[in-house]
Structure 1
Amino acid sequence: MPVRVVETTSPSHSSGQDLSSAQPSPPSCSLLCAGRSFCGTQNVSSLQKDEAWKVNVRIQGCDIEHGFLCGTMEALNVPLADTPVVTFWEGEIVDAKNHTFFTGKWEATPEDDIRHWSKFPSFTPLLSQIEDDGGKSLDLSNYPYIFMRWKEQYFVNVGADCGLTIAGFYYVCFSCTDGSISGFYYDPNSSPFQKLELKCVNEKPGGFSFSSYELV
Structure 2
Amino acid sequence: MPVRVALENTTTPSHVSGANSRRNSFQSCSLLSVGQAFSGTQNVSSLQKDEAWRVNVRIQGCDLEHGYLCGTMEALNVPMADTPVVTFWEGEIVDTKNYTFFTGKWEAAPEDDIRHWTKFESFGPLLGQVELDGGKSADLSNYPYIFMRWKEQYFVNVGTDCGLTIAGFYYVCFSCNDGSISGFYYDPNSSPFQKLELKATNDGRSGFSFSSYELQ
Would you say same fold, with TM above 0.5? yes
In structure 2, the residue matched to 1:27 is 26
Name the SS for the 1:170 alignment partner: strand
Query: What does residue 41 of structure 1 align with?
Result: 41
Give the fraction of aligned pairs with identical amino acids, expressed as a percent. 82
Q: Distance in 2 between matches of 1:164 and 1:196?
A: 16
Deviates more, 1:21-30 or 1:101-110: 21-30
Secondary structure, aligned partner of 2:150: strand
The residue identity in structure 1 corresponding to 2:49 is K
Cross-structure match for 2:50:
50
TM-score normalized by structure 1? Answer: 0.90
- Please give the alpha-carbon distance, in whole angstroms, between the structure 2 residues aligned to 1:66 and 1:53: 32
Give matches, 1:168-187, under 5 Å.
168-187=168-187
Give secondary structure in 2 for the equivalent of 1:56. Answer: strand
Asked if 1 retains the 8 angstrom alpha-carbon contact of 2:85 and 2:155, the reply is: yes
Q: Give the Cα–Cα distance (whole angstroms) in 1 for the partners of residues 129 and 75 of structure 2.
A: 36
Cα separation, partners in 2 of 1:159 and 1:135, compared to 1, 3 Å? same
Which SS does the other structure have where 1:113 is aligned? helix
TM-aligned CA deviation for residue 5 of structure 1? 5.3
| Residue aligning to 1:133 | 133
Give the gaps of 5 or more residues in structure 1: 7-20
Aligned residue runs from structure 1 range 58-73, under 5 A:
58-73=58-73
Distance 2:176 2:205 in 1: 24
Contact 1:44 1:194 in 2 (8 A): yes
Q: Which amino acid aligns with 2:45?
A: S
Counterpart of 2:97 in structure 1 is 97
Amino acid of the residue matched to residue 143 of structure 1? Answer: Y
Moved over 3 A (4+): none
Aligned pairs, number: 202
Provide the C-alpha distance between the structure 1 equivalents of 2:197 and 2:214, rounded to a whole number of angstroms: 25
- Aligned partner of 1:2 in structure 2 is 2
Bigger radius of gyration among the two? 1
